[in-house]
C-alpha cells in the first residue's frame, strides 16, 4: 500500500504553521511588554526602547498576515494539484512556441520561468509593504521606488543568466548519475558554491551596491593592525553604501585562503562614533575566522547536509508512488527535487533548530574572543549601539528565540561578557 505522501506533507505543514504561530504569539506578547529587560535599564534610552517596540510590533503584525496567506497559498497549490497542472501548461507553451516538449531541460526551464513570474507577482505586494510602509515608517528605508524596481529587474536578469545552465547541469547529472548520483550532485553543488562565493562579491554584489576602499586614517590603521596581529591575510578593506537602501548596519568578511576582504557598511561607521566600537565589531568577526567557524559551517555543516539530502533524493528518485501522490504521471527531475524538499520538511525544521543552537554558540565564542583581545567594553557598547540603531527587539520570548534566532539576544550576550569578566576578576 502506497504511503499518502501528499496528505502527510500537508498535515505537517499545517502542524508546523500552528506551532510556529504559537511561538509568534508568545513573541508578540513579549514585544508588548512596556518595560526594558532589567539588564538593559540604563544602557538603552527609553526613546529607543519605545521606537524598537513599535517597530517590532509592526513587523510582528505583518508577519502574522504574511504567514497566514503563505500557508493558504502553499496548501492550495499542493492540495488542488496546481503543480502538475502548471507542468502540463508549461509543456503546452513549449509546443506552441515551436520547441521540443520532449526535451526535459527546455520543458523544465519553461516551468521554472512561470514559477518565477508567479513568485514575483505574489511576493511583490509583501515586499512593497515591508519596504515602503514598515521600513519607511520607522526611518530605515532609504531607497526610491525606482531603485527598488531596478534591483528587482537586476535580480530577474541574473536568474535568467545563471539559472538555465545550472538547471541544465542538474538535470543532466540526474539522468546519467546512476548509483553515484548523490556524489555527482554533491560534487557539482560544491564546485558551484565555491564559484559563486568567489564571483558574487566581485561581479554580482557591485551590481547592487558601491564598494569603495576605506579611506586612510586611524580607523583603517587600527583594523589593519588588528588583522596583522592575528595573521589575518587582509588584502582589501571596503566600505559599502548600504545607506542608499537602508539605515540598518552590518560588517562582514569574505575571500579564500590568502585573499581576504573586510566590508563595513557606511551605516555602521555613522552609528558607531567611537572607532574602538567598530574595531570591536571587526574583532568579533575575526573571531569567527580564527576559531574556524566559517570553515566548520561550510564544510562540516553545509556540505554534509547537502550530501545527505542528495543521498535521500537518490533513494526516492524512481518512486512512482511519490510522484503519483502529488498528481504526476511522469517523473521529471525538477519535480522530484521539489517534492523531495517537501517530504523532508520535518527534518529541515529539526536541522534548522540544531544549526541555530550551533550558530548561537559560535556567537558567544566570537564575543569571548574579542574580549580576550581587550575589546570587552567596546564590544558591549557596540552591541548596545547596534541594538538601538537597528531598533532590534529588546524583549524576547525564550521559546521563540531558542527556535528562531541564529544570534543570541542582546541580554544574553551582555550577560556572557559580564560573567567572563567576573570570572577573570575572581
Predicted local confidence at residue 401, as pLDDT: 94
Is there a catalytic annotation at residue 47? no
> Distance between CA 320 and CA 300 in Å, rounded?
33
> Distance between CA 418 and CA 40 in Å, rounded?
13
Q: Which residues contact 83 (CB under 8 A, 6 or more apart)?
A: 77, 326, 327, 328, 335, 338
List the grid coordinates of 247.
539605515
> Distance between CA 254 and CA 262 in Å, rounded?
7
Predicted local confidence at residue 250, as pLDDT: 80
Q: What is the pTM of this model?
A: 0.88
Backbone phi, then psi, for 171, in 5-degree steps? -60, -45
Evaluate whether 108 touches 333 at the Cβ level (below 8 Å). yes
Sign of torsion over alpha carbons 371, 372, 373, 377: positive
List the grid coordinates of 346.
520535518
Selecting among 91, 104, 135, 285, the annotated active-site residue is 285
| Residue 370 DSSP code | H
Over its length of 426 residues, how does the chain's per-residue pLDDT go in tens digits?
678 889 999 999 999 999 999 999 999 999 999 999 988 888 888 899 999 999 999 999 999 999 999 999 999 999 999 999 999 999 999 999 888 888 999 999 999 999 999 999 999 999 999 999 999 999 888 889 999 999 999 999 999 999 999 999 999 999 998 888 999 999 999 999 888 888 888 888 888 888 899 898 899 999 999 999 999 988 888 898 888 888 787 888 887 767 788 889 888 888 887 889 999 999 999 999 999 898 888 776 778 888 888 898 888 888 899 999 999 999 999 999 999 988 888 888 888 898 899 999 999 999 999 999 999 999 999 999 888 888 899 999 999 999 999 999 999 999 988 865 555 544
> Distance between CA 208 and CA 142 in Å, rounded?
14
List the grid coordinates of 8.
502527510
Strand partners, 54: none
Predicted local confidence at residue 421, as pLDDT: 53
Q: What is the DSSP pairing of strand 260-265 with strand 234-240? A: parallel
**Is 288 marked as binding a ligand?**
yes
Selecting among 367, 388, 389, 397, the annotated active-site residue is 367
**Is 407 marked as binding a ligand?**
no
Query: Cell 587582509 belongs to which residue?
Result: 234
Predicted local confidence at residue 1, as pLDDT: 61
**Is 363 marked as binding a ligand?**
yes
Predicted local confidence at residue 196, as pLDDT: 87
Is there a catalytic annotation at residue 123? no
Evaluate whether 41 touches 360 at the Cβ level (below 8 Å). no
> Distance between CA 275 and CA 343 in Å, rounded?
49
Radius of gyration (Cα) for the chain, nearest Å? Answer: 24
Amino acid at each position: 500500500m502506497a504511503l499518502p505522501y501528499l496528505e502527510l506533507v500537508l498535515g505537517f505543514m499545517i502542524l508546523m504553521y500552528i506551532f510556529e504561530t504559537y511561538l509568534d504569539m508568545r513573541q508578540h506578547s513579549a514585544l508588548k511588554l512596556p518595560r526594558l529587560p532589567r539588564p538593559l535599564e540604563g544602557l538603552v534610552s527609553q526613546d529607543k526602547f519605545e521606537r524598537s517596540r513599535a517597530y517590532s510590533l509592526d513587523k510582528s503584525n505583518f508577519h502574522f498576515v504574511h504567514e497566514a496567506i503563505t500557508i493558504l497559498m502553499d496548501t492550495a497549490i499542493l492540495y488542488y494539484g496546481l503543480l502538475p497542472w502548471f507542468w502540463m501548461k508549461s509543456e503546452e507553451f513549449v509546443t506552441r512556441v515551436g520547441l521540443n516538449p520532449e526535451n526535459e531541460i527546455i520543458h523544465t526551464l519553461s516551468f521554472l520561468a512561470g514559477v518565477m513570474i508567479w513568485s514575483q507577482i505574489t511576493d511583490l505586494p509583501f515586499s512593497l509593504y515591508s519596504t515602503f510602509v514598515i521600513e519607511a515608517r520607522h526611518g530605515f528605508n532609504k531607497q526610491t521606488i525606482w531603485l527598488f524596481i531596478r534591483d528587482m529587474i537586476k535580480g530577474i536578469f541574473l536568474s535568467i543568466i545563471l539559472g538555465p545552465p545550472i538547471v541544465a547541469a542538474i538535470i543532466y547529472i540526474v539522468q546519467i548519475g546512476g548509483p553515484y548520483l548523490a556524489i555527482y550532485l554533491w560534487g557539482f553543488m560544491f564546485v558551484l558554491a565555491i564559484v559563486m562565493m568567489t564571483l558574487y562579491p566581485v561581479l554580482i554584489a557591485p551590481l547592487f551596491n558601491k564598494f569603495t576602499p576605506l579611506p586612510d586614517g586611524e580607523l583603517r590603521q587600527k583594523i589593519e593592525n588588528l588583522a596583522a596581529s592575528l595573521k589575518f591575510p587582509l588584502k582589501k578593506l571596503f566600505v559599502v553604501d548600504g545607506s542608499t537602501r537602508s539605515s540598518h548596519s552590518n560588517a562582514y568578511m569574505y575571500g579564500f585562503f590568502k585573499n581576504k576582504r573586510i566590508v563595513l557598511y557606511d551605516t555602521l561607521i555613522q552609528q558607531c562614533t567611537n572607532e574602538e566600537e567598530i574595531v570591536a565589531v571587526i574583532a568579533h568577526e575575526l573571531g569567527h575566522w580564527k576559531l574556524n567557524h566559517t570553515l566548520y559551517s561550510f564544510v562540516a555543516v553545509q556540505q554534509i547536509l547537502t550530501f545527505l539530502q542528495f543521498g535521500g533524493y537518490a533513494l526516492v528518485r524512481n518512486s512512482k508512488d511519490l510522484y503519483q501522490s502529488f498528481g504526476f504521471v511522469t517523473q521529471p527531475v525538477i519535480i522530484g527535487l521539489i517534492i523531495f524538499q517537501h517530504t523532508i520538511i520535518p527534518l529541515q525544521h529539526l536541522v534548522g533548530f540544531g544549526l541555530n543552537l550551533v550558530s548561537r554558540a559560535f556567537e558567544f565564542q566570537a564575543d569571548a574572543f574579542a574580549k580576550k583581545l581587550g575589546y570587552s567594553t567596546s564590544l558591549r557598547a557596540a552591541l548596545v549601539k547596534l541594538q538601538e540603531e537597528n531598533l532590534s527587539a529588546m524583549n524576547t520570548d525564550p521559546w521563540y528565540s531558542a527556535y528562531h534566532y541564529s544570534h543570541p539576544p542582546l541580554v544574553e550576550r551582555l550577560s556572557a561578557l559580564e560573567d567572563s569578566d567576573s570570572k577573570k576578576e575572581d
